[in-house]
Amino acid sequence: MKRAVVLGAGGFIGSHLVKRLKSEGYWVRGVDLKWPEYSDTQADDFIIGDLRHLAVVENAIETGLDEVYQLAADMGGAGYIFTGDNDAQVMHNSGLINLHVVHECAKKKVGKVFYSSSACVYPERNQMDPDNPRCEESSVYPAAPDSEYGWEKLFSERLYFSFSRNQGLDVRVARFHNIYGPEGAWNNGKEKAPAAICRKVAEASEGGKVEIWGDGKQTRSFLFIDDCLDAVRTFVNSDFAGPVNIGSEEMIAINDFVHLIADVSQKKVEITNIEGPTGVRGRSSDNRLIEEKIGWSPKINLREGISRTYAWVNGKVEEAKTA
Ligand code: NAD
């Protein structure tokens, strides 16, 4: 039986990844500051611990592990990352986690290490035109991410690759682009656009107002969680180390995204564009490399993924009303 450790297993992607690995027959240990919030973990072993502390990392990563998935990070949506208020915390917390984890994985000779980087590594200069963002993997240098969160991710990518070169660690580095789906943050200040807009639409009355940060012309693409997990597993099983984008190329302007969600909810809503942190003007995944190297492309389109996500968020909104 293969043995894997998922760091950040109490979070959105980590908790889904644990389920996925279990369904593939793995023995799985999860580690996080917290339990998954929306369903019980399926991990065989779950350590509640702070990965900024070396002793916790030493305990979590043992010799003989086949795979470690490093998803733990101090992160959130635009309200958390782009205001600047959490910069020191984000860099310090995630930096410490990655420094400890990579060192321990090399020391314990873990089979493979997956590191989740982000589309936030890409330079702002290539993402000023909402209709034509440039996010191919090689465009990351000269580096100019638009947030400290992105800078930390880029540093950590290099950290994992340096351990690969100097200490023979077998690494896989992927840059996630806006992963969404059920059982993610939806109302705690760390939610991202898909869950936040689903919540606003679910809370709105028929014809009601939905507030959107910025002019709503900024574009993004969003990848459904099941597609993300397929990509991660195919990537880890391949011989390609990355860095590689894991995202969708189905780009949409945020105001149109609100209309799509309203349509799925069968409600009419009115958009009010207000000032707020928005990040770059345009961003979408470029999937040419991942298609070429491992033959993966998304299967679930935005409407389908949003239908499933809206149903879940709407359920949470209804639960909250009766609580
Ligand atoms: P998440 O916030 O739901 O999960 C991260 C988990 O890490 C949380 O459960 C958190 O408690 C845990 N964590 C943070 N600090 C910790 C610490 N000191 N010790 C132990 N656990 C700690 O985020 P997610 O959406 O599941 O993202 C997973 C990874 O993917 C993150 O590294 C994130 O930066 C990256 N990523 C995600 C997206 C996305 O769209 N969701 C996009 C780009 C990159």
Q: 225-264, pLDDT tens digit by residue? A: 999 999 999 999 999 999 999 999 999 999 999 999 999 9
**pLDDT of 31 over the 90 cut:** yes
Q: Which two tokens stand for residue 253?
A: 């302007």
CATH 3.90.25.10 domain span(s) along the chain: 181-221+250-283+300-315
pLDDT at 77: 78
CATH homologous superfamily for the domain 181-221+250-283+300-315: UDP-galactose 4-epimerase, domain 1 (3.90.25.10)
225 touches ligand 1 (CB under 6 Å): no
182 touches ligand 1 (CB under 6 Å): no
Q: Whose CA is nearest to atom 44 of ligand 1?
A: 118
**pLDDT of 125 over the 90 cut:** yes
pLDDT exceeding 70 applies to what percent of the chain?
100
pLDDT at 69: 99
Q: 66-108, pLDDT tens digit by residue? A: 999 999 999 887 788 888 999 999 999 999 999 999 999 999 9
Q: What is the mean pLDDT of residues 125-135?
A: 93
Q: Please give the Cα distance from 123 to 143 (Å, whole number).
A: 6
Q: Which of 13, 20, 50, 147 to mutate to test the pocket of ligand 1 (most atoms within 8 A of CB)?
A: 13
Instruction: Report which ligand 1 atom has the smallest distance to the Cα of 72.
Output: 7
pLDDT at 246: 98
232 Cα: distance to centroid of ligand 1 (angstroms): 15
CATH 3.40.50.720 domain span(s) along the chain: 3-179+223-246
Summary mean pLDDT of the chain: 96
104 touches ligand 1 (CB under 6 Å): no
pLDDT at 73: 97
Which of 80, 122, 149, 160 is labelled catalytic? Answer: 149
Q: 94-98, 237-241, 275-279, 312-316: which range is least confident on average?
A: 275-279
**pLDDT of 202 over the 90 cut:** yes
Instruction: Report which ligand 1 atom has the smallest distance to the Cα of 149.
Output: 34
Q: What are the backbone dihedrals phi and psi of residue 272, each rounded to the nearest 5 degrees, phi first?
A: -115, 120
Q: Which of 5, 6, 12 to mutate to test the pocket of ligand 1 (most atoms within 8 A of CB)?
A: 12
157 touches ligand 1 (CB under 6 Å): no
pLDDT at 189: 84
Instruction: Report which ligand 1 atom has the smallest distance to the Cα of 15.
Output: 26
63 Cα: distance to centroid of ligand 1 (angstroms): 24
Q: Please give the Cα distance from 213 to 202 (Å, whole number).
A: 18
Q: What is the mean pLDDT of residues 142-150?
A: 95
Q: Please give the Cα distance from 105 to 136 (Å, whole number).
A: 29
Q: Using pLDDT thresholds of 50, 70 and 90, give the confidence band for residue 188.
A: confident
Q: Please give the Cα distance from 78 to 286 (Å, whole number).
A: 21
pLDDT at 278: 82
Q: Whose CA is nearest to atom 1 of ligand 1?
A: 11
pLDDT exceeding 90 applies to what percent of the chain?
93
**pLDDT of 277 over the 90 cut:** no
Q: Please give the Cα distance from 185 to 10 (Å, whole number).
A: 11
What sign does the dihedral 128-133-137-138 (CA atoms) show?
negative
β-pairing, 179-180 with 171-176?
unpaired
**pLDDT of 65 over the 90 cut:** yes
**3-179+223-246 carries CATH number 3.40.228.10:** no
pLDDT at 82: 85
pLDDT at 319: 94
The CA distances from residue 197 to 131, 176, 256, 266, in Å, are 21, 20, 11, 14
149 included as an active-site residue: yes
Q: Please give the Cα distance from 205 to 228 (Å, whole number).
A: 33
pLDDT at 275: 92
Instruction: Report which ligand 1 atom has the smallest distance to the Cα of 36.
Output: 9
